[in-house]
Structure 1
Amino acid sequence: MPTPLRSLSGLIDFDAAARWGSFRLAAVELHKTAAAVSQQVRQLEQALGFALFQRHPRQIELTDKGRELAATVARLLVELRGRVGALQEVGAEAVLRVSTTHSFAMKWLVPRLHRFSARHPALDLRLEATDAVVPLEPGRCDLAIRYARLDAHDPAELLLREQLVLVHAPGLPGTRAPDGGTVGLATLLQLPLLYEESPARWLAWLQANHLPVRRYDFARGYSHGGLLVQAAVAGLGLALVPLALAGEDIAQGRLQRVPSRALPAGYGYRLHYADAARELPRVVAFIDWLRVEAAGAGEIDG
């Protein structure tokens, strides 16, 4: 019959040694001696009744059971540290941590946040802009807004579907006829055409608007939608931009939308959160506000 583990002593030392593959490096992290770390792991092995490491003259290597336990311990320690951090923080129930992409944060979310703050002044919103996937953990991230290809089988809540629209800066040379009137699409398309990553979406837009595919000046490409929108605002050319990212600039007159058929991007923004976070009042308040904002911009899925 298995002997129950009566002490958690040694689990932190074991976790560090497993991550580093070295008692010496684990000791540096833990501010201990290598001998002390080795002794803690040895005592843990004795308590468990099986070896965690194969010890070689110059290195250590996890056993199969050690590898399984290391994965479990690492996951539980992350959760434990996150929970402890949340409990230690004064007023943690009022802190809302949100993660999203750089472009969405800069061009869609931040320009609207003053309305959320006015509605919920007691909430302390902490926004992390990153294109990396942030773990949904207590004390780390309550809610993530992620951009991804739309998938009907994705269980995450869909906030909005992205569509691409044609824009240029007001007064951009070549967008006005000599008599001051507007010019047609054929003339506009002689301008430098700005795109994100590749001109492929431009070709799809041309087809959707029943325009011929010929030689165009695909002059400048940008790695992110936010950069593309900023390039259009700067007057660098005619741009096919995500409406969600360009909406505020269009509303403020920094960009002018060209009458034409919008192109569904096949991508959208989804809400991700841990199951335990969905019922938190601060998360519910933020999701409700997000949906109002998306609906007001005419972008919400429906």
Structure 2
Amino acid sequence: MNSCKNIFQIPPDLNDALYNVSLVLLNSHESIFAPQPHVPCMVEIGGFHVQQPKKLPEDLQKFLDNAKEGVIYFSMGSNLKSKNLPVEKREAILKAFSKRREKVLWKWEDDVLPGQPANVKLGKWLPQQDILAHPNVKLFITHGGLLSTTETVYHGVPVIAIPILGDQKMNAKNAERAGYGIVLPFPELSEGKLSELMDEILTNPSYTTNVKQRSRIMKDRQIDPLDNAVYWIEYVIRHNGAKHLRVPYMELTWYQFYLLDVLAFLLGVVIVTVIIVKKGCSYLYGKLRKSKDKGKQDTSKLKRS
């Protein structure tokens, strides 16, 4: 807050800032999400943070290179720590991993993992992008965060997603719908369920086929997403805020924005129509009554005569 005050002598009004946005950089892409309609000042740069694979540390490189049956990479991200898993969930995961032919690389934030199987290698911090880029990595067990999802799609690795919070459930469901992942709800996590899902993904080639197709879509761009972001930022600067990209509704008054003027007009049309119909019906009813009364009078005269 103090640093903000040093920059802005008068704190900006958030509403003014919201309606004075020149450019929106969206961390999304159609390879991950369903296509969405955008206005010109909204630019997709999903995958901008993904970098070319770098050389792995010697121990990791050797571990991955020697994994002839493949590698399962397990990480719950930087905010959710595997060491804080409930004991029963940790034990279930360990038992499932111990029965695999594949090697397992686990982001584990403590010095010791009780009951660590021989095929499991630990790391308090792991270079995730470089690991996913290795051809021996066959499966990524993840929490389903956006950055992890983007990286696994870019490198073409199918996932088992165990979403915990935020957008993770949405990302996990998207992966499942797109056919390159399976959702494993945390309450349902057990040795049997995890083993079943690992077998499904590692023996069914459709998951890898689907994610590699998504990878090709993400990489097939006219311009690198980071270069695209730089271009549009500089474009807005060159054109003094690029107001010509702003859609007209940003300038609407509140009653126009909520279409109250349109609703008032439509309501007026309905009221006028009802009044006209009512008066027309009253007029026709009156004419009909007069006609009936005249008929009764004529009938009475005939009877008297």
TM superposition score normalised by structure 1: 0.26
* Greater RCO, CA 8 A, separation 6+: 1
Q: Of the two, which has the highest radius of gyration?
A: 2
TM-score, scaled relative to structure 2: 0.26
